[in-house]
Structure 1
Amino acid sequence: MNSSSLWQPFKLGRLKLPHRLALAPMTRNRANPDGTPGELAAEYYRQRAALGLLITEGTQPSEDGQGYLTTPGIYTPEHIAGWAKVADAVHEKGGHLFIQLMHVGRISHPDNTPHHRQPVAPSAISAEQDMFTTEGPKKTPVPRELSVAEIQDVIGEFRHAAASAIAAGADGVEIHAANGYLLHQFLAPNANQRTDSYGGSIENRARFVVEVTQAVAEEIGADRTGIRISPAFPLGGLDEGDAEAVRAQYRYLVGELAKLNLVYLHVHHLGDDELLAALREVWPTAVLVVRYGRERDGIDADIVTGLADLAPLGRYALANPDIVERLRTDAPLNDLDPSTLYTGGAHGYTDYPARTGV
């Protein structure tokens, strides 16, 4: 792909990126049982450092934040030491690392967490999702509703996780407010039926997301803080209402977040281009856009139209450690093996072949 728009350098906060591609966050389930990144993680991210900006897999900020088996954390000294190896490997190859902070909320099962407690959420409403455990698939249980005091504790967990990411040598963090997880749950009326200051109105449902983001930006700097949203994505059993309700919620939310001057807004886009254009208009810094089903020849489409500044790659980058060079030279791509996405070990993780050394 020789589109000139993809190969223009870009300044992202403190970072100078060589082009407009990036690595999208993708859960790989390869962490050690205690949540420390596995020994292969540094190699996995190092191989893909040519993408410039690498956004890691979702990383829990606390024990309550874990939903899936063998996902990494960023809240203990051991986690920091593990991520430091990843950051060093990426930096040695000239890349930059943002750790995605992901609290899953109700998308969890006690079998998968260190403390085996009931999951937490804005309201005591089950997601009714299948969750893989060591004993096979189980339904996510009814979560426990967070008290107002506990909400403040969770905000503190995000603050601590962000500081831990920087201590590990990461260049920044991405707050995961998308894809059906805790922050997204607060935005969705069918998951958030609170009657206090964190529920009910558009403003109240957005409050938790805004307060988490304020805390992280205060802790590590707005120019090292990004956020991901996914308007209208029905993941994790969420229903955000009709198109007008979704537009109203996200225009307000993004308008409030824009005041913080974060380094980027990352939109996991379902297809409402009118909303995307409205968000782009009010956002003061970089916009990243990922679309499901995007074909190779459409990677640069949102950059060409001005809707995005960067194009994060998911499965193309997963299966092709040298994806930047392959796209630059119009080389063929490796096929993805879906059976190895979450299986652990090197196979399907660090053993996809590169055409040249990476």
Structure 2
Amino acid sequence: MPSQEVRRIVTRPLAADSPLLQPLTVGTLQTANRIWMAPLTRNRADTDGTPNELQAEYYAQRAGAGLIISEGSQPSAIGQGYPNTPGVHNDAQQAGWKRIAEAVHAKGSKIVIQLMHAGRISHPDTVAGQTPVAPSAVRPAGKVFTTGGEQEFPTPRELATDEVPGVVAEYADAARRAVAAGIDGIELHAANGYLLHQFLADGINQRTDNYGGSAENRARFVVEVAKATADAIGADRVGIRISPGNTFNDISEDDLTVYETLTSQLAELGLAYLHVLAEADDPIVGKLRALWPNTYVLNTGFGVESDRDQFERLIADGAVDAVTVGRKFIANPDLVRRWTEDAELNEADDTTFYGGDAKGYTDYPAL
């Protein structure tokens, strides 16, 4: 019988001087390592959007991350996209975030809130009977999850030009509330097909005013939001996430030069970090890196398995400064330790990702 080749997978713990484990100064923050927790929608807030004790426990469990970026959280009631997502626009919600900040800080980590206005990715059942708003009245394909189950997306209402400053002000107010709650900063969600991304996308944004048409015009709203939040809490407490060319939530983009325009303008504001969702070998990662003077963060996306050794090489080569990890942090609250020791990882139960109780949320074992 012919011999059969045996392939042995060689694994290794991380060395103490691994680029992944080095501290990093990010604006006002000093992160203990460069393995950050990505924003992850989990739908566990109270029905009124107030963050609760279960969420405080969840985030505190994952405090080994150099920085925790919270789940997308609406800066206004009309900005809510899904049931049981947290808000940052009233006193009760602010108090809930204070509990979370205290729990994470007690474990020695840092946390920022991702501000996510869902725009057209919503439904009247979720926003108290109101019609969701968007840059243009373009209905997304597909269905959205509501308290009444999955329903067809409605056609959103186009924001009037004179309404835009009010939306900008809502972001700034939410940023102030976050910092007042003891949160370390905010991340603007300009990715994955939500409101800021909708303005950037030429296939969705059909406006003819100063917020539509050219790349500079389509970037204008995002830049105004970034400037307002930077003015409110300091640019060194503000990050932003983008996903060039990502078709999630029925986004259509042909002109990706808007991201070079956007990045150049945001660089002038002195924001703490730019968080790019793209595959590591996408040419746009290098293009934007060349335009960005501060901390540059990569997330390799929904369909790509986070690869510890690839991330280590990317940081060592200077391609990025830090990385964010999503699903692996869901199932492994002590992911940094497990990656450091090259320990076996828990498998995530995707049936518990969205909504529910402690099951699949705070009951994953640590080493």
Task: Report the TM-score range of the alignment, normalised by the length of the smaller protein.
Answer: over 0.9
Q: Give the aligned length.
A: 350
Paired position in structure 1 for 2:5: none
Write the mapping of 1:179-198 to structure 2, written as runs, cut at 5 A.
179-198=192-211
Alignment match, 2:14: 2
Query: 1:150 maps to which residue?
Result: 163
Aligned mates of 2:140, 2:314 — CA distance in 1: 33
**Residue 95 (structure 1) aligns with:** 109
Amino acid of the structure 1 residue aligned with 2:153: T
Residue 273 (str. 1) matches residue 286 (str. 2): no
Q: CA deviation at 1:52?
A: 2.2
Match of 2:73 among 52, 59, 79: 59
Report the Cα offset of residue 268 of structure 1. Answer: 0.7
Question: By how many angstroms is 1:270 displaced?
Answer: 4.0
Instruction: Mark the runs of 5 or more structure 2 residues left unpaired by the alignment.
Output: 1-12
Q: Does 1:80 align with 2:94?
A: yes
Equivalence for 1:300:
312
Aligned residues: CA RMSD: 1.1
Please list the CA deviations of residues 297-351 of structure 1 after superposition, one character each: whole Å capped at 9, or x if unmatched. Answer: 3232421332211111111111001111111101000001000001321000000
**Rounded Cα–Cα distance in structure 2 between residues aligned with 1:238 and 1:271:** 21
1:116/1:270 CA distance change after superposition, 3 Å: farther
Q: Distance in 2 between matches of 1:222 and 1:16?
A: 15
1:146-195: CA deviation from partner (whole Å, max 9, x where unpaired):
01111111001001000010011100000000000000000111211000
Q: Given residue 261 of structure 2, which amino acid in structure 1 is its aligned partner?
A: Y
Letter in 2 for 1:189: D
* TM score, norm. by length of structure 2: 0.93
Aligned to 1:209: 222
Provide, for residues 86-143 of structure 1, a one-character-per-residue CA deviation record: whole Å limited to 9, x for no partner. 0000000111110000000000001112x22000000001012311122221111000
**1:224 alignment counterpart:** 237
Q: Which residue of 2 aligns with 1:159?
A: 172
* Counterpart-to-counterpart distance in 2, 1:30 and 1:107: 19
Match of 1:213, SS? helix
Query: CA shift at 1:38, angstroms?
Result: 2.4
Greater Rg over alpha carbons, structure: 2
CA distance in 1, matches of 2:183, 2:168: 20
User: 1:47 — aligned with what?
Assistant: 61
Structure 1 stretch 47-56 or stretch 6-15: which is displaced more? 6-15
Contact kept, 8 Å, 1:7 with 1:19, in 2: the verdict is: yes
1:343 counterpart residue number: 355
Which residues of structure 1 form unaligned runs of 5+? none
Shift of 1:271: 5.4
2:293: which partner in 1?
284
1:219 positional shift = 0.3
The one of 158, 161, 178 equivalent to 2:191 is 178
Is this contact kept in 1: 2:84–2:355, CA < 8 A?
A: no
Give the secondary-structure state (helix, strand or coil) at the position aligned to 1:49. coil
